[in-house]
Amino acid sequence: MSTWNYVVTAHKPTNVTHSCVGNFTSPQELNLIVAKCTRIEIHLLTAQGLQPMLDVPIYGRIATLELFRPHGEAQDFLFIATERYKFCVLQWDSETSELITRAMGDVSDRIGRPTDNGQIGIIDPDCRLIGLHLYDGLFKVIPFDNKGQLKEAFNIRLEELQVLDIKFLYGCSKPTIVVLYQDNKDARHVKTYEVALKEKDFVEGPWSQNNLDNGADLLIPVPPPLCGVLIVGEETIVYCSANAFKAIPIRPSITKAYGRVDADGSRYLLGDHAGLLHLLVITHEKEKVTGLKIELLGETSIASTISYLDNAVVFIGSSYGDSQLIKLNLQPDAKGSYVEVLERFVNLGPIVDFCVVDLERQGQGQVVTCSGAYKDGSLRVVRNGIGINEQASVELQGIKGMWSLRSSTDDPFDTFLVVSFISETRILAMNLEDELEETEIEGFNSQVQTLFCHDAVYNQLVQVTSSSVRLVSSTSRELLNEWHAPSGYSVNVATANATQVLLATGGGHLVYLEIGDGTLTEVKHAQLEYEISCLDINPIGENSNYSHLAAVGMWTDISVRIFSLPELNLITKEQLGGEIIPRSVLLCSFEGTSYLLCALGDGHLLNFQVNMSNGELTDRKKVSLGTQPITLRTFSSKNTTHVFASSDRPTVIYSSNKKLLYSNVNLKEVGHMCPFNSAAFPDSLAIAKEGELTIGTIDDIQKLHIRTIPLGEHARRICHQEQSRTFAICCLKNQSSADESEMHFIRLLDDQTLECISTYPLDTFEYGCSILSCSFSDDTNVYYCVGTAYVLPEENEPTKGRILVFIVEDGKLQLIAEKETKGAVYSLNAFNGKLLAAINQKIQLYKWMLREDGSREIQTECGHHGHILALYVKTRGDFIVVGDLMKSISLLIYKHEEGAIEERARDYNANWMSAVEILDDDTYLGAENNFNLFTVRKNSEGATDEERGRLEVIGEYHLGEFVNRFRHGSLVMRLPDSEVGQIQTVIFGTVNGAIGVIASLPHDQYVFLEKLQSNLRKVIKGVGGLSHEQWRSFNNEKRTAEAKNFLDGDLIESFLDLSRGKMEEVSKGMGVSVEELSKRVEELTRLH
């Protein structure tokens, strides 16, 4: 049953919609605040660049983001309004580093037609009122009192119904707005109104201007001393005020964003639809405007927002490509551009389509998206987990342990790789040709298994075997000293650092040795009551060669203990609980916090924070990494220490923002790992896996890896073909900007290099609408099928399209067959060895027929009418699920005997669909244009035909994101024997560049998590006082209903971000221990 669903974000939205600059976090600090649909990011301007401070989830889609400075305040406040008519005013409390809510409220009206051109929210420059245009014909005012407090809001009737923009004018004694609007003859004008706060009405303003540029769309208010407003059109820019009117023609372009450069408003940056950045200058003599000048500066991503930061550095926020930090140079570069890109911020939005593939054939899904729009279009390969880039590998069976050693204490590189087997030890070293070859360290005993090895001070090496500890010179490689285990005892486990050795023999004997120049001194001995299973003395204190603490794992009582060194006094004992013995312990330090990691024999890992002065263990947490015993080792990458957990599910443990994170390594099973930083393979790891020793480098340590393949054109559909190892995409290229026409292509890409290897141009006006890789009955070939539409300017809906069938031969797209259709082919599916197409209002089934001459053709078999536009189609067996433009989801069935398609059931709600997917035989998932998700169920047991013909809505949820595509699949490697491995997941991609996962949970888990969610709602507050419950409630024009059968995984997983105290609060409410809660939530994070 896929009734109970868990929705979680794998990749947060990255589409930048708004940005502003001001002194938000302190009167002295300058901040850039960026809105990414449902999140805001607060950055600090520093000498090193933009420093991200905080990512703030907002329970709403951000419609307005404005900084303002109320009277008497030393720093700015942030005004946010959401699309669902909530607003809040936030203030930064620098003492606690918290966002506090100064005011909030609801600005919805019971009656009113929402504006077509988006919501407008503006703040009077003199801070007398906030103005909102949310409904046609209404201007809402939230006045400030003289102490900066907000008063009750009221509406004023606005005669202009088609409003394009509204701004406040500067320098007016009464608050004055300027309105850009279109009349019913499609002419555009501006008008000014004074807001009379007492009378709650408009008073005719000081001036107006009729008959502007037909493309006028943007108002820029000009601050004092000049005042007035700039009206930006497609062919002209006009400066307008009560006593001046200046205009300049511009090259035809659509200005998407502007940023004011100077406080006096004399210069502006304008970004257009083609990503060109212009500088607009108002020339003036004293306070009199004399004219306008405009200059092209260069090219950026297509901007949706521009913020001038400081010292010629500008933030370009983009919805269509990556956002950028640019510098405006005084002198142009060789290409004549004044723009220098300093930094780039990844944006996957809009994700128009994507596919899930396993390119490396490791059982791990990767998402390949069609991202961006127009010239900023690209493909992005999104992969979870950390990859190992193999550099060398050799077959070696039965590895029991590995250590790297240096040839002298101050050598920056490792020379030797000690590989231990059950009855021998082999030593590999880099030779002069930078090859790994077997060598010898004469002082080592290579006839037995090595238990531990380490570099030691004074150019020495130490080897621990079951019978002795050997101290060897790293230069002469000769034995310098040896400590023998007492007769009758053998060493079971051992560990060492540069100056210390700790080992345990049978009978619970713990022996502590110190290393001197040629000496090994037994300093202390202790007898414990049970056998010892693992040890560690990794120095994490001030001295990097000496540890004051030793961690010891025990058999029998299943505990981990901390001893002081050199005294070997027991200072802490922690019972681990359960019956599984600890197999590996490790003391380590992340971001200045000391931890003890303790891995159990069943793949669980416990972590504690360690108090370095008294050895106390606190903040115990447990996670499940795999099912087999884990071995822990530290390694360094890019000067940061991480921990590698070798097991059946290798994992890298690292810390980000003081939180431990677990990232999968994209390898199947790792027995042992040791860092091997040699001159030939710098920063590498030696990894023992499946009878093989591999040396490789490791990816950047982060959860999701994104590879960008810029296309310079807009990809709209993508599909992968396993057999030809290719991708095929439908894309469009805008011709030179002077000519607005666009050309559409089908392109074939190599699935490894992602280079275009073949192109098939479509006809003029012909759009690629759908693409599919499939095979047909009685034919072994695999084909690419493409559905198209002829989009003619004079037609409302396309009346003609084509289905094209290609085969990949010698890396080329060869057209095998084509069939004309009576409309746009919105969707194509492989169906019972045939081809199922959605063409305008019809579902059509085609057969693949062999002609007498041996060629192939597509033949119509049957069809089903009765949709407005059948846009999205998914199939399972003989069932067909259709997502309609405006008639929600319907279920069709193909009847073989009759050769007919009939409707079985439908959802009678009027949902405008954006994507559908089949969760199981009876449950279907839909996304619609009010940013909701819902599930419907087939009612096969219904008593009447009427009941059986109705799809029952069983789940509803407000996602707050526009979903363009669902696909079955997973971003993570699935272990069939793990609990998480059994959970079915669907991936979705959104306009804002978010990638999410919908996981269908077993009922008991759902109930548990639902309770956790409601407990978390009490502890984690909505920023700005916004309610989580309201945010997730299903909402469209007609109704609002509480979310059901969907859980917010983002809220649930934020449990792991809570302080210990707050975790305990939740734990109390749940009646479940913090350890158990963290473990269960941590498991969920491994779904994505």
Partner 1 sequence: MGSMLGNLPSFDPHNFSQLRPSDPSNPSKMVPSTYRPTHSRTLPPPDQVRATEAKNILIGNIYQRAEEKLRSKRAATEHLIPEHGCKQTRPSTS
Which residues 46-75 are close enough to bind partner 1 by CB under 8 A?
A: 46-49, 51-57
Which residue number, 314 or 551, has a Cβ lying nearer to partner 1?
Answer: 314
Query: Site residues for partner 1, window 344-363 (CB under 8 A)?
Result: 344-346
Query: Site residues for partner 1, window 960-1019 (CB under 8 A)?
Result: 1019
Smallest CA-to-CA distance from 177 within 147, 211, 208 is with 208
Which residue number, 315 or 790, has a Cβ lying nearer to partner 1?
Answer: 315
Size of the site for partner 1 (CB under 8 A): 96
Asked whether position 322 contacts partner 1 by CB under 8 A, the answer is yes
Going from the C-alpha of 1048 to that of each of 776, 929, 1004, the distances in angstroms are 41, 19, 16
In the chain, what is the straight-line distance between the N-terminal and C-terminal CA atoms, in Å? Answer: 21
Asked whether position 282 contacts partner 1 by CB under 8 A, the answer is no
Least distance in angstroms from the C-beta of 57 to partner 1: 7
Residue with tokens 């099928």: 785
User: Which residue of 78, 80, 103, 368 would you call a contact of partner 1, by CB under 8 A?
Assistant: 103
Least distance in angstroms from the C-beta of 726 to partner 1: 24
User: Which residue of 1021, 1040, 1041, 1068 would you call a contact of partner 1, by CB under 8 A?
Assistant: 1021
Query: Site residues for partner 1, window 878-937 (CB under 8 A)?
Result: none
User: Under DSSP, is residue 1012 helix (H, G, I), strand (E, B) or coil?
Assistant: helix
Least distance in angstroms from the C-beta of 322 to partner 1: 7
Q: Is the distance from CB of 20 to CB of 79 less than 8 angstroms?
A: no
Least distance in angstroms from the C-beta of 197 to partner 1: 13
| Phi, psi angle pair for 837, to nearest 5° | -120, 145
How many Å apart are CA 823 and CA 557, to the nearest integer?
74
Point out which residues pair with 688 in neighbouring strands.
672, 693
Backbone Cα Rg of the chain = 33
Question: Segment contacting partner 1 (CB under 8 A): 101-109, 249-257, 391-399, 404-412?
Answer: 101-109
Least distance in angstroms from the C-beta of 9 to partner 1: 11
User: Which residue of 236, 611, 702, 841 would you call a contact of partner 1, by CB under 8 A?
Assistant: 702
Question: Segment contacting partner 1 (CB under 8 A): 109-117, 399-407, 535-543, 881-889?
Answer: 109-117
How many Å apart are CA 351 and CA 379, to the nearest integer?
9
Residue 761: left (phi > 0), alpha (psi -120 to 50), or beta?
Answer: beta
Least distance in angstroms from the C-beta of 718 to partner 1: 21
Question: Segment contacting partner 1 (CB under 8 A): 106-114, 643-651, 835-843, 988-996?
Answer: 106-114
Least distance in angstroms from the C-beta of 366 to partner 1: 18
Which residue number, 88 or 719, has a Cβ lying nearer to partner 1?
Answer: 88
Least distance in angstroms from the C-beta of 98 to partner 1: 6
- Beta strand 5-11 with 1046-1048 is parallel
User: Under DSSP, is residue 1057 helix (H, G, I), strand (E, B) or coil?
Assistant: helix
Question: Segment contacting partner 1 (CB under 8 A): 88-96, 250-258, 389-397, 603-611?
Answer: 88-96
Least distance in angstroms from the C-beta of 1064 to partner 1: 12
**How open is the CA angle 75-76-77, to the nearest 5 degrees?**
130
Asked whether position 284 contacts partner 1 by CB under 8 A, the answer is no
Asked whether position 155 contacts partner 1 by CB under 8 A, the answer is yes
Q: Is the distance from CB of 957 to CB of 3 less than 8 angstroms?
A: no
Which residue number, 222 or 786, has a Cβ lying nearer to partner 1?
Answer: 222
User: Which residue of 10, 20, 107, 789 would you call a contact of partner 1, by CB under 8 A?
Assistant: 107
User: Which residue of 1054, 1060, 1072, 1073 would you call a contact of partner 1, by CB under 8 A?
Assistant: 1054
Q: Is the distance from CB of 525 to CB of 503 less than 8 angstroms?
A: no
Burial tier of 767 (Cβ tally within 10 Å: 0-12, 13-18, 19+): buried
Which residue number, 47 or 738, has a Cβ lying nearer to partner 1?
Answer: 47
Question: Segment contacting partner 1 (CB under 8 A): 234-242, 341-349, 856-864, 1002-1010?
Answer: 341-349
How many CB atoms neighbour CB 293 within 10 A?
Answer: 11
User: Which residue of 114, 225, 1025, 1069 would you call a contact of partner 1, by CB under 8 A?
Assistant: 1025
* Burial track 866-882 (b if 16+ CB lie within 10 A, e otherwise): ebebbbbbbbeeebbbb
Tokens of 976: 């069939």
Which residue number, 141 or 674, has a Cβ lying nearer to partner 1?
Answer: 141
Query: Site residues for partner 1, window 156-195 (CB under 8 A)?
Result: 156-157
User: Which residue of 189, 251, 267, 1011 would you call a contact of partner 1, by CB under 8 A?
Assistant: 267
Q: What is the DSSP letter of 1002?
A: P
Question: Segment contacting partner 1 (CB under 8 A): 40-48, 210-218, 464-472, 741-749?
Answer: 40-48
Which residue number, 173 or 1059, has a Cβ lying nearer to partner 1?
Answer: 1059
Q: Is the distance from CB of 24 to CB of 42 less than 8 angstroms?
A: yes
How many Å apart are CA 320 and CA 317, to the nearest integer?
9
Query: Site residues for partner 1, window 291-310 (CB under 8 A)?
Result: 293, 295, 297, 308-310
How many Å apart are CA 987 and CA 10, to the nearest integer?
9
User: Which residue of 656, 735, 759, 982 would you call a contact of partner 1, by CB under 8 A?
Assistant: 656
Burial tier of 180 (Cβ tally within 10 Å: 0-12, 13-18, 19+): buried
Query: Site residues for partner 1, window 657-686 (CB under 8 A)?
Result: 657-659
Question: Segment contacting partner 1 (CB under 8 A): 222-230, 324-332, 486-494, 755-763?
Answer: 324-332
Question: Segment contacting partner 1 (CB under 8 A): 100-108, 553-561, 719-727, 905-913?
Answer: 100-108
- Beta strand 900-906 with 913-918 is unpaired
Question: Segment contacting partner 1 (CB under 8 A): 256-264, 588-596, 731-739, 870-878?
Answer: 256-264
Q: Is the distance from CB of 720 to CB of 727 less than 8 angstroms?
A: yes
Which residue number, 56 or 645, has a Cβ lying nearer to partner 1?
Answer: 56
Cα 1050 versus chain centre, distance: 12
Which residue number, 313 or 719, has a Cβ lying nearer to partner 1?
Answer: 313
Query: Site residues for partner 1, window 134-153 (CB under 8 A)?
Result: 138, 140, 142, 149-153
Which residue number, 291 or 332, has a Cβ lying nearer to partner 1?
Answer: 332
Least distance in angstroms from the C-beta of 656 to partner 1: 7
Which residue number, 93 or 722, has a Cβ lying nearer to partner 1?
Answer: 93
User: Which residue of 311, 613, 639, 944 would you call a contact of partner 1, by CB under 8 A?
Assistant: 311
| Phi, psi angle pair for 447, to nearest 5° | -85, -10
Smallest CA-to-CA distance from 286 within 225, 238, 240, 244 is with 225
Which residue number, 512 or 1031, has a Cβ lying nearer to partner 1?
Answer: 1031
Whether a cis peptide bond, with omega within 30° of 0, leads into 350 is yes
Q: Is the distance from CB of 187 to CB of 177 less than 8 angstroms?
A: no
Smallest CA-to-CA distance from 871 within 932, 942, 938, 823 is with 823
Which residue number, 340 or 692, has a Cβ lying nearer to partner 1?
Answer: 340
Which residue number, 216 or 382, has a Cβ lying nearer to partner 1?
Answer: 382
> Per-residue string for binding with partner 1, 597-636, x by CB under 8 A?
----------------------------------------
How many Å apart are CA 699 and CA 705, to the nearest integer?
9
User: Which residue of 67, 247, 341, 612 would you call a contact of partner 1, by CB under 8 A?
Assistant: 341
Going from the C-alpha of 434 to that of each of 132, 261, 429, 484, 680, the distances in angstroms are 69, 56, 9, 36, 6
Query: Site residues for partner 1, window 747-766 (CB under 8 A)?
Result: none
Going from the C-alpha of 746 to that of each of 624, 741, 757, 806, the distances in angstroms are 45, 17, 11, 10
Tokens of 524: 């202390």
**How open is the CA angle 603-609-611, to the nearest 5 degrees?**
145
